[in-house]
Chains A and B, each alone.
Chain A
Amino acid sequence: MRRTIHLILNGRPVEVEAEETANLLDVLRADLGGYGARFGCGLGQCGACAVLVDGEEQPACAMEIGAVDGRSVLTSEGLGTSDAPHPLQAAFLELQAGQCGYCLAGILVGAKALLDRNPDPSRDEIAKALAWHLCRCGVHNRVLDAVALAARRMREGAPA
């Protein structure tokens, strides 16, 4: 059924006319101008499209838009900007944690979800939390270091 869906996207209330069963990733990219979630597999297997729905990490490619009606959705674009980066983005830049960068948007929001529930994760805990995210360039160690660095900065009071 086509209807108006209301959601809070990256902190701003938005509404969109869509079939309830339309794919969240499709609607984000095609109708809401959200490019922070990227298409990777369409099956929720790679993490490139990860978003936070009410703070919980979800593959946008495996969700219907109707399921986020009245809820908040965060993509990597809601984290920070180049002028005011989120501590995670700042740490990824500082440690050059990326090569092609296609996986990074999903990893950033996955890391945010982790730090929201565990501000001082061990390396193993970060690795486990990100384990469903695939990275093909092999920047895993840099990503683990960057998440740990951001966590430390946030514990020390860096604004997130």
Chain B
Amino acid sequence: MIPAMLAANPRLDRWVSFEPGGRVRIAFGRMEYGQGIATALAQMAADELDAPFASLRVVPAATGDIPNEGLTVGSMSIEFSGPAIRTACAEVRALFTAAAADRLGCDPAELDVREGAFLRGGQPAGLDYWSLAAEVDLARAPTGAAPLKTPDAMRVVGQSEARLDLPAKLFGRTFLHDLILPGLRHARVLRQPSPGAKLASLDEAAVRRAVPDVDILIDHAFVALICETEADAARAHAAAEAAARWEDVRAMDSALSEPAALKTLAHEDIAAGAPPAGPSNRRRITAAYGKPFLSHGSLGPSVGLARFQDGKLTLWTHNQGVYPMRALAARITGLAPEAIEVIHGQGPGCYGHNGADDPPIDAALIAIRRPGRPIRVQWRREDEFGFAPVGTAMLMELSAELDASGRLVDYTAEIWNAPHTGARGTAVAESALAGYVAPARPFQPVLPDGSRFTGGVLNATPSYEVEATRTLEHLIETPIRASSLRSLGGAPNTFAVESFIDEIAESVGQDPLAYRLAMLSDPRARAVLIRLSEMCGWAQRWEVGTGRGLGLAYARHRSHGAMVACAAQVEVDAEVKLARLWCACDGGLIVNPDGARNQIEGGMIMAASWTLKEQVKLGGSGVASVTWDDYPILRFDEVPPVEIELLNTRDPQPFGLGEVSQGPVMAAIGNAVAHALGARIRDLPMTREKIATALLA
């Protein structure tokens, strides 16, 4: 079978070709943003081709130059792009093997490839990919007949190859933020305080007193200050902020910062799973968990560049996909997609749909109104916090029924949240343009089974064998621009589910590990939990309420991906101090062990930060927390040692690992804090105030 991404981009030469000088050109539609995907996909390609890893050149992402694989999201690159690039390379290898056999007058089965050169009977046959390149036409579709390697035959997959993108990040100029095009002008947008706000007046003379040669662009409620230097653009922007009067500005209710307030918002309901439970005389337990709005918190505020010349628009972006950016720019500008070229550059980690899509659109709107010279828009820190999408808050009310032995037999998750991908395909600038109409419904892809994908019920039910489970999702009308944040609803749901499992185990007087294992028969899943329990010394766990806590949690990512268990050891007095974190993970075939560990650990640290520290505060006309002082994250002196073990790493099926560790670590910390305190905190983040409240309850 041809993998979906290859079927959508069937020409083999779009994926792989041979360049003079013994180089292999490899292209894929996934964006590198520090997660190491370019390196891992190149390793898979090198193995299927049997070409030297060092000979691979990964094509910089730009429309036209790479296959269209949509967005780089959902930790799906290894699982979806991997098979496409592997199949393409296997097909190419088979075509070249046939060509070599033709030349040599032998059966293709007599030939093998090593380091890009053909062997016959184990001896060099005098041919390689490059000497045959002129006679093999790769402008063709795959046949689906070329076999893929099994893990035992892989030489590059399984090695910790160094990241291809990292050296440039240590030695110099590599970020899109560093790109200064000839003739460039710098611009800042005077942002509409909230969607629908109208510009009543702008005292342009006041702006010109600050920067005399500023070019002020006003189109409806879209206002840009264009200058020769970035410092002037910043000055003009500050002056314009003080000189603008807006009407119809939204007043944001700060009470909506709390997850419990989601219940007060208009919503539609989506039910799934088992039919509603009838009355029963079984023991019933309920608990409610909350997770606030979270910021992606990218370290570098987003940047974008645009040039409009001779009817053609060129955009530079560090977003999650050049083709979706082209579609977005085409929709907003009215230009044909063919008139738009999008070039990708390195950016700060985005962790989902952050502000990256926005400055290129800002720049495009300006460039089209000021053709010729390129325009660069650098967002400020307060723009990134204030106008980029946030991860939606969630309220999770869970209910469990237990049989006489205390086993969990019926499970209901009732969830309030905004669609997790809601702002996809939109830009914040749009609502300032004349004739803007808000989309009727936030972005929710339709799945093959016809259901809508909201991201809200991922991992909403336990990763154990439970007779009946159901979800009731209340999809709220979001009060603030919300969109994809790493794992969508998966990690918050796992926090809730796995906290709840500990509470149930405690209520029936059972050990949390034993309680989980009793509901888990899959040997791979059991191996993960058991290995974790050995790593963290679970057998020596001490009594509850000592101020020191040990907790664990388990989840199978999205119910069908990697199997992940985490443990946390904490010390709690006024605040939670993380002493150690552990993770055991069966992610199947591991392409790059060091890269896998880096992703898993990064996910753990980020989720520990979510659990203990983070909350977007709403207020004013939107987001009120717009500096790092308002939005603290975990720091170097708060990060604990982390130990990770990868299990079953040569299984044929690889799983994505970028989003798998967050949920289990959040719940492990929650369970450890409950063990330390003898009281549970169900509402994130676990701040000083929440600890005090839990102890007084």
Contacts and interface: CB of A to CB of B under 8 A. Distances in A.
A30 B166 contact: no
Q: Name the residue among B177, B628, B634 with the largest chain A CB count within 10 angstroms.
A: B628
Contacts of A93: 162, 166-167, 170
A71 to B, nearest CB: 21
A27 B136 CA distance: 53
Given A99-B598, A102-B349, A140 B639 contact: yes
Interface string B200-231: 00000000000000000000000000000111
A32 B178 CA distance: 13
Contacts of B378: 39
**Which of A42, A108, A141 has the largest number of chain B CB atoms within 10 A?**
A141
B345 interface: no
Contacts of B348: 100, 102, 136
B163 interface: yes
Given A77-B172, A134-B635, A138-B603, A100 B349 contact: yes
Given A26-B230, A102-B348, A136 B633 contact: yes
Contact of A99 (B172, B602, B634): B602
Contacts of A40: 299-301, 381
B606 A138 contact: yes
A89 B606 CA distance: 24
Interface of A is mostly: loop
A138 B578 CA distance: 14
A38 interface: yes
A135 B172 contact: no
A143 B298 CA distance: 18
Interface in A20-47: 22-23, 26, 29-30, 35-36, 38-43, 45-46
A77 B168 CA distance: 11
Contacts of A130: 636
Interface string B560-601: 000000000000000000000000000000000011001001
Interface string B335-375: 00000000000111101000000000000000000000000
A43 B349 contact: no
Nearest to A31: B229
A29 B175 CA distance: 13
Interface in B369-391: 378, 380-381
Contacts of B297: 136
Contact of B349 (A127, A131, A137): A137
Given A99-B602, A127-B636, A48 B299 contact: yes
Contacts of A96: 160, 162-163, 166, 594-595, 598
B642 interface: yes
A81 interface: yes
Nearest to B298: A136
A85 interface: yes
Contacts of A108: 170
Contact of A102 (B300, B595, B602, B603): B300
B35 interface: yes
B299 A134 contact: yes
Interface in B298-334: 298-301
A97 B458 CA distance: 31
A156 interface: no
Given A136-B298, A138-B606, A142-B598, A45 B171 contact: no
B381 A41 contact: yes
A98 B636 contact: no
B52 interface: no
A35 B13 CA distance: 36
Contacts of B648: none
A39 B170 CA distance: 16
Given A43-B627, A48-B300, A141-B601, A81 B171 contact: yes
Given A38-B175, A134-B299, A141-B639, A98 B170 contact: yes
A136 B381 CA distance: 14
B629 interface: yes
A137 B381 contact: no
A98 B639 contact: no
Contact of A30 (B34, B160, B177, B229): B229
A101 interface: yes
B637 interface: yes
A2 interface: no
B220 to A, nearest CB: 29
Interface string A74-88: 001100111001000
A23 B234 CA distance: 11
Contact of B34 (A41, A89, A98, A133): A98
B635 A131 contact: yes
Nearest to B174: A101
B605 interface: yes
B33 interface: yes
19 contacts: A46-B299, A46-B381, A85-B170, A85-B171, A93-B162, A96-B160, A96-B594, A100-B34, A100-B348, A101-B34, A101-B170, A104-B170, A131-B635, A134-B299, A136-B348, A136-B606, A138-B606, A140-B636, A144-B636
Interface of A: 22-23, 26, 29-30, 35-36, 38-43, 45-46, 48, 76-77, 80-82, 85, 89, 92-93, 96, 98-104, 108, 124, 126-128, 130-144
Given A35-B173, A36-B172, A126-B636, 13 more contacts: A40-B381, A76-B170, A92-B170, A96-B594, A100-B346, A101-B169, A102-B175, A104-B169, A108-B170, A130-B636, A131-B636, A138-B603, A141-B642
CB-CB nearest 10 A-B residue pairs: A101-B169, A138-B605, A100-B34, A138-B602, A100-B349, A102-B348, A99-B34, A140-B639, A45-B628, A41-B381
